Amino acid sequence: MPVKSPCIGVCVLDPAAGYCTGCFRTGDEIGAWMGMSDGSKKRLLETIRKRRLSTTSAPLITTGDKDL
């Protein structure tokens, strides 16, 4: 089963934080997503989860996808 993109359609890169305020990926990570292996995507999802948890103002968005 393919790894689902963490994109939620917000698509606003925060220059201070260095990543999108919606999916918590950097511009480079967003651009690389389609060419990444499933293993790399899963590792990135874990990185994103940690970013989200370390940002106190981050909204908790649930998609029903346990990989997020």
Q: How far apart are CA 38 and CA 11, in angstroms?
A: 22
Domain assignments of the chain as residue spans, ordered by start: 13-54
* Average pLDDT along the chain: 88
Question: How confident is the model at residue 61, as a pLDDT?
Answer: 59
pTM above 0.85, yes or no: no
Question: How confident is the model at residue 55, as a pLDDT?
Answer: 82
What pLDDT digit, counting tens, does each position of 6-27 carry? 999 999 999 999 999 999 999 9
For 61, the token pair is 């968005």
Question: How confident is the model at residue 1, as a pLDDT?
Answer: 86
Q: How far apart are CA 13 and CA 61, in angstroms?
A: 17
